Amino acid sequence: MSNTKQQAKWIRWLRWLHRKIAIFLFVFFLVISITGLLLGIKKQTGLLAPTRKGTSANLSTWLSVDSLHKKAIGYLQDSVSKSLSIDLDRIDIRPDKGTVKFIFKDHFNGLQLDGTTGQLLQVEKRRSDFIEKLHDGSILDKIFGTDGDQIKVSYTVIMALSLLMLILSGLWLWYGPKRLRKSRIRQTQG
């Protein structure tokens, strides 16, 4: 088989592969692009609740984290729902704002408390956390109740390798025909 025929065959196979990957993963790429855009502008769109200002940025005047945690659990059960899980995902301490945020594992509610008084400053729906879980695939780990991040990691690897394959095959589909034309011109001239 001549070199140009082999190049043409390689380009046809890459075009087939490129198309199959793109068709099969279209919905996933659409979700990733939309959620990525939303996460990029989350502060400007209100998807991320603003951080309220507490009484003092002086940490020596603050209540203990344990005391603030107990108050947060009380506020969650009194102000949001008694049926929600109290398992914490993280505590976000903002000394410059005088605020402590409590973010929970099993739902998308968050509480902002004044670090000094322990007063509830805001109950927030953490929409950006939900969008982030959609974006990175960890929502599937939550839905299927898997331990760790098996689905998230698999999803991330598959999507990253697929995107890399689309980029490389797309680059070759752009460059390959140009190279093939040059090769054919050289053959006809030679």
The confidence score (pLDDT) of residue 180 equals 77
Looking at residue 97, the DSSP 8-state letter turns out to be T
Residues in the chain predicted with pLDDT less than 50, given as ranges, are none
The confidence score (pLDDT) of residue 175 equals 86
The confidence score (pLDDT) of residue 6 equals 85
C-alpha dihedral, 147 to 148 to 154 to 160, nearest 10°: 160
Q: State the DSSP H helix or E strand holding residue 92, giving kind and residue range, or none if neither.
A: strand 88-94
**Is 62 in contact with 115 (CB distance < 8 Å)?**
yes
Domain ranges across the chain = 1-48+126-190, 50-125
Hey, is 118 helix, strand or coil? Answer: coil
Within 13 A of 46's CA, how many CA atoms are on the CB side? 0
Query: Please, which residues bridge with residue 181 across strands?
Result: none
pTM above 0.75, yes or no: yes
The confidence score (pLDDT) of residue 109 equals 94
Total residue length of the chain? 190
The confidence score (pLDDT) of residue 190 equals 63
**Is 44 in contact with 36 (CB distance < 8 Å)?**
no
